[in-house]
Structures are given as C-alpha cells and as structure tokens.
Amino acid sequence: MEEVHPRDVPPVRLALRCGYLGDRFYGSQMQPGVRTVEGEFVASCLRTGLFSSHREGRFQAAGRTDRGVHARAQVFSFSTPFHERALAALNWQLPADIWITGYAVTEPGFNPRHQAISRTYRYYFGEMGLDTPAMDRAARCFVGTFDFSQFARVEGKDPVRQVLSSRVFQDKDLCVFEVRAGSFLWHMVRYMASALLRIGSGTEGEDLILSRLEGDASTRLSPAPPEGLVLWDVEYDFPFLPITLDRRTRNFLETRWVYHREMTQVLDTLRDSADVRDGHPASRLCGYDDGHRG
C-alpha cells in the first residue's frame, strides 16, 4: 500500500518514554562534535524519515542529564505525520544503549518539560556497610519547600524547590536514595546523595543537611559521581502505552550485566590478592575521585 504523503495528513505529537545507559554519552543534550542521547535520537528519527530537522519536528525532552547519568524513563516528544512508522521502526534505528519503553499520542502543543507533574531520581551507592536507617531518616529532612542553594549549582535560577518525597532503602546489596520533586536544580540530587553518604558512613549527622538547608556552607561538599544516578520516572496526567523491549536491546543489557558481574569478581580478587601480598587487611576506599569509571 502506498504511504500517504505527509502534506495530506496533519502531524501527530508523540511522547516517547525512553531508557538509556549514560556512560557512553556526553550528556543527554545535543552538542556539536560529541555523542549525546538527543543527538543519537534525532539522527535515528532523520534516518527513519520522521521529520527533516529537529526544529521541524519540534523535538523536546523532559529534562537534561549530565555525562554518565542513566535514565529509566526519560521522555522525548516530537511531531510527525508518520507516527505509525515511528512506533514500528524507531527502536530498531536507535543505538543499543537507547531504547523506547512506552508512548502516548498527545495534544499538538505538548511540551514534555513544562507539562511534567514530577520527576523521580534514584541514586545507587556502591559503598558497603552504610547505615541505611540513618540515611533514610536524614533523607526525610529534604521533604518540603527549601532554598537548595547549598545542594546545587544554581547559576542564576530560583534556588527554591519543593521536594515531594525522599527516602533511602536497600535494594539487594546496594543502598538506594530515591527523591521526587516537581523540578530539580543542576547537580541537586548528586549533592543530596553526597550528604547522605557521609551520614551513612558515620562521618556526619542529620545536622549536615539541616544546616545547609538553612544556608550554612561551612562544610565542604562535592556532588556524588554521575554513574550512580538514574532518572527513574517523569510523571504526566496521561498514561504511556507499553512497548516491549526488542531482542537486540535485551541482549545488549544482558551482555553489559555479564561484563560488570565478571569485573566485580576480578576486582575483588585483585584487591584481596594485593592486600594479602602487602600484609594488610582488606579495606574499601571511601570517597569520590574524578577518574573515569567504565
């Protein structure tokens, strides 16, 4: 059957819920000369013939993530006369480290950033032996409306944000910080996670959070590394219809999982061997560095 020419039908506005692994991207926002999530997504749309440029398609994102940050439910939106083609083919055009998990047909003027009700992030701590109950109690100090200047890079924006929920819980062997708000400042969740790590390791108490919310910057604090952060959910006043992961994406995720499982065992063995050789008990370095983590 011959496809209808795009001039014969009005464009349809789509919202696509997507996941991605951020360690091979220079952030989500399009930038010249580097690999980004938006850049790969738009390139896939162009190859599929959904629009001639991101401006024509009014391509927009629910938010930005930094280099190394992952997403379970980022939302991209664009307009196209070929919405059925988009749903059928786009997952196959995307690289394996980006995948679509759901979609919705929206109103023509839909803006995924401005119309989001809330955003939820999770931060996964790799450190062992953290005091999860103490971190959970401290995390609840964030709930409410506060000036988060001491927990973010404000850069001229209004530092006041309302945190709707905040908790810390155990997920298998890892400690997880989950926080939900209408919007976040740059690095806000990573600064919050860094403070909670200090509390969980016993070097600080809840006063660290309370004092910084009151504007006290006497204690130096750096943002936690990006690789533990996941954009977990973006909430709207409509549901997303699910899209099943294709075999290629499942195989890619399985391959990455196997690799990191193997590397965990290799690093444990090498660390333990070095400790035995040097005659020192095994210990874990606690602290953040600026080196690349694969």
**β-strand partners of 181:** 119, 163
The distance from CA 160 to its chain's CA centroid, rounded to whole angstroms, is 21
Among the listed residues 66, 131, 147, 246, the single catalytic one is 66
Q: Does residue 66 carry a catalytic annotation?
A: yes
Q: Which residues of 88-124 are buried (b: 16+ CB within 10 A; e: fewer)?
A: ebbbebbbbbbbbbbbbebeeebebeebbeebbbbbe
- Cβ proximity of 185 and 219 under 8 Å: no
The answer to whether 197 and 134 have CB atoms below 8 angstroms apart is no
DSSP state of 172: T
Q: How many CB atoms lie within 10 A of CB 134?
A: 17
Q: β-strand 98-106 against 12-20: which pairing, if any?
A: antiparallel
Residues marked as catalytic: 66
